[in-house]
Amino acid sequence: MSKNTVSDRFRKVDVDEYDENKFVDEEEGGENQLGPDEAEVDSLIRQGNLMGALQAVLKSPPINTKNQNVKDRAEGLVLKVLSSFKSTDIEKGVQSLDKNGVDLLMKYIYKGFERPSENSSAVLLQWHEKALSAGGVGCIVRVLTARKTV
């Protein structure tokens, strides 16, 4: 065999990066998005105001930012709020959200499914059931087709 067939590094080259017709999403400035306010949400949970905590944690979602830490922190915070709800209150929590809120909640739920921890999936599945009856399948379709997500 000749020398230049020894290396197979060429197989790891991502050829799509060099395609001049490659589709690039439009840039929307999101560098200033910091996600929900941790201090505010924590204090609301401590006070027992779970509805308020839910509204607060769904404010200013880090959709446009490329900073992975901000997104992870936001997801952790949302999970904390969702887990602190009692099973019977989940339905009321979902009812208090508007259409966009339900869509956003569904995005966080699916993000949470991606990395399951201790008890997270069980809690998320209960929330998923209630969010599905409020938002319908259309809500899940929007999670799947969103180009920029939490």
Partner 1 sequence: MSYHSFLLEPISCHAWNKDRTQIALCPNNHEVHIYKKDGNNWSKIHVLKEHNGQVTGIDWAPESNRIVTCGTDRNAYVWTLKGDVWKPTLVILRINRAARCVKWSPKENKFAVGSGSRLISVCYFEQDNDWWVCKHIKKPIRSTILCLDWHPNNILLAAGSCDFKCRIFSAYIKEVEEKPAPTAWGSKMPFGEVMFESTGTSGWVHGVCFSDSGNRVAWASHDSTVAVAEGGKTAVCASLTSETLPLLCVTFITENSLVAAGHDCYPVLFVYDSNKAAMSFGGKLDVPKQSAQKGMTARERFQNLDKKATTDSKEAVLESVHKNSISQISILNGGKAQCAKFCTTGMDGGMAIWDVKTLESAMKDLKIV
* Number of residues in contact with partner 1 under rule CB under 8 A: 14
If the CB atoms of residues 77 and 139 are measured against partner 1, the closer one turns out to be: 139
Binding mask 28-57 for partner 1 (x = CB under 8 A): ------------------------------
**One residue of 1, 23, 29, 119 binding partner 1 per CB under 8 A:** 23
- Segment near partner 1 (CB under 8 A); pick from 1-9, 67-75, 79-87, 131-139: 131-139
Cα(58)–Cα(103) distance, rounded to whole angstroms? 10
CA distances from 129 to 1, 69, 82 (A): 60, 28, 13
Cα(129)–Cα(48) distance, rounded to whole angstroms? 24
| Contact flag: residue 145 with partner 1 (CB under 8 A) | yes
Give the distance, in angstroms, between the CA of residue 100 and the centroid of all CA atoms in the same chain: 14
Cα(128)–Cα(65) distance, rounded to whole angstroms? 25
Locate 102 and state its tokens: 């339900």
- Segment near partner 1 (CB under 8 A); pick from 70-78, 90-98, 106-114, 136-144: 136-144
Write out the binding residues for partner 1, residues 98-127 only, by CB under 8 A.
Answer: 99, 103
Contact 150, 61 (CB under 8 A): yes
Q: How far is the CB of 132 from partner 1 (least distance, A)?
A: 10
